[in-house]
Structure 1
């Protein structure tokens, strides 16, 4: 027995002979980048051969649920709900409340007022989350009936779709970490600036007198993550969008004067003038009866004293 135990001990000792502790693993921390993080190397197509803010004059609003026979509104009512393309990543305008899981914001409330006018019920609505780059396509392919998504009126877009009257005005500015050397658009030379693909923000960056590296992502929260991780030096968008990002990170600040202005409109499919007039009728009502002001105070009060609702410009 003693001989057997000795043999086992020798075997165990032999197995461990000549071995050493494994070398410690070394790995470089990987810094994640946003989905579809790409450089935009050319300005988006632009056109200035129209007055993008002019729209059709509204008629009298029909009673909810009693839309004119054969109209685009009657077809929507027959479907039992209005499908509206909105954002779910822009705090204050269109975002998903983590406490309730519901989409909320200024744009969402405008969309619900349209549903109220159609059905008498603001909940007869299907809110479809679309990215900025998907807004035009979703209208053209009839995936949605309308777009209410911080959607700026431009002549280039007007070639493919129609617009309502302007329901909100914003200005494009710059968002940076506190302590950044970037204090105005003149300091953006050689810097990496984040925008969302499909938004109008990129065009003005290419028109600056300094050369800027423009980085495109899918959503504004992707820009926020990129700025926090140091993948970009600044974000440039409408002040309303930037203030929503700043509210999510108090270490950020807006700097510089306005780079340009934006006019938010409801996007409507081409060749549906009755629907354009109807939406304009809804916007006219909420301007006059105080609903616009109430929505502003509730959703955008953090931006400061309420501005007056934009005055519409009608073609006939």
Structure 2
């Protein structure tokens, strides 16, 4: 009887060990993009999969916005991602887009759910501790969006009693607290919510990069951008730390589309108006 119990105990331990090894294998597959065992780095995984997965915004007009009639995400970031995929994999259709927000994009990248982030993401020293960035692909700067009849013309008008709307997890939220310490800052999950709040009178101004505000002013011409830019917000494409091969491939592709005219073509397609009037 004692021998039977000992045998059962050993059998249970063996089964437990097998289960743990299987779980580790599943996690490894997920990290490598879903079953690409043996892939040494993210670029190799992408090439084996024959597809690159980008994290993109779905709520940012002109950069990444889901078209309700087609269900497709459209914008500057989307077209740049397709152009980069064409350079790396030979076909612009070899891309998959997954929705991210300012708050979720780095966690999703680190989990391995996406290969790279192209989502109006400012290159900062703080973020460089968590991700690696490509060269700058868009030069932006933080500004203010207000109703055209608003008395607010710039930062100096953001005094005590005024409310500025911003998005959680964005550099603009941090910056406005430093630049206009007397103003109240009200944060939202995404830009669509923040703009809706501005239109419903929950705030006096909305702040983020001018590139994102362009889209809001394009959507509703009764709003415009004031005060110029008061920060430098260079956008970069983010990859996981240490993924040098993928970073080099993206930089090479970015350099190519800038030199062959493809970048300028995409820029003119999406960024074409003066939204300060």
- Give me the TM-score of the superposition, normalised by structure 2: 0.82
Matches within 5 A, 1:186-225: 186-190=156-160, 191-208=162-179, 210-225=181-196
- Alignment length, in residue pairs? 236
When the two structures are superposed, what TM-score results if normalisation uses the length of structure 1? Answer: 0.72
Deviation at 1:302, TM superposition (A): 2.7
- SS of the aligned residue for 1:286 comes to helix
1:267 aligns with 2:238: yes
Match of 1:77? 47
Pick one of 76, 86, 91 that aligns with 1:121: 91
Matched with 1:307 is none
User: Which aligned segments of 4 or more residues in structure 1 are displaced greater than 6 angstroms?
Assistant: none
CA distance in 2 between partners of 1:301 and 1:99 (Å): 23
What is the distance in 2 between the residues matched to 1:196 and 1:253?
18
Judge conservation of contact 1:186–1:210 (CA < 8 Å) in 2: no
Match of 2:60 in 1: 90
Q: Do the aligned partners of 1:106 and 1:296 also contact (CA within 8 Å) in 2? A: yes
How much does 1:257 deviate?
Answer: 2.8
Output aligned runs, 1:38-57, within 5 Å.
Answer: none
TM-fit CA distance, 1:118: 2.8
Offset at residue 183 of structure 1 (A):
1.2
What is the RMSD of the two structures over their aligned residues, measured on CA atoms? Answer: 1.5
Residue of structure 1 aligned with 2:262, choices 291, 301, 312: 291
The secondary structure found in structure 1 opposite 2:103 is helix
Q: CA deviation at 1:303?
A: 4.8
TM superposition shift of 1:219: 1.2
Does the C-alpha gap of structure 1 residues 303 and 127 become closer, same or farther in structure 2, counting only changes over 3 Å? farther
Instruction: Identify which of structures 1 and 2 has the higher relative contact order when contacts are C-alpha pairs closer than 8 Å and 6+ apart.
Output: 1
Please say if residues 204 and 259 of structure 1, whose CA atoms lie closer than 8 Å, have aligned partners that are also in contact: no
Which structure's residues are more often helix, by fraction? 2
CA contact (8 A) 2:58 2:99 kept: yes
Is 1:240 equivalent to 2:211 in the alignment?
Answer: yes
For residues 166-181 of structure 1, the aligned pairs below 5 Å read: 166-181=136-151
Q: Which stretches in structure 1 are left out of the alignment for 5+ residues?
A: 1-68, 305-316
Task: State how far apart, in whole Å, the 1-side matches of 2:168 and 2:181 are.
Answer: 21
Is the 2:143–2:229 Cα contact (8 Å) retained in structure 1?
yes
C-alpha deviation, 1:210, in angstroms: 4.3
Once residues 117 and 193 of structure 1 are traced to their aligned partners in structure 2, the CA distance between those partners, rounded to angstroms, is 41
Q: 1:210 and 1:111 mapped to 2: Cα distance?
A: 37
- The offset of 1:301, in angstroms, is 2.0
Structure 2 residues without counterparts, runs of 5 or longer: 1-38
Q: Which has the larger radius of gyration?
A: 1
Give the Å deviation of 1:209: 5.1
| Contact 2:155 2:180 (C-alpha < 8 Å) held by counterparts | no
Contact 1:87 1:129 in 2 (8 A): yes
Aligned partner of residue 301 in structure 1, secondary structure: coil
2: CA distance between counterparts of 1:101 and 1:164? 29
Distance in 2, matches of 1:303 and 1:291, equals 22
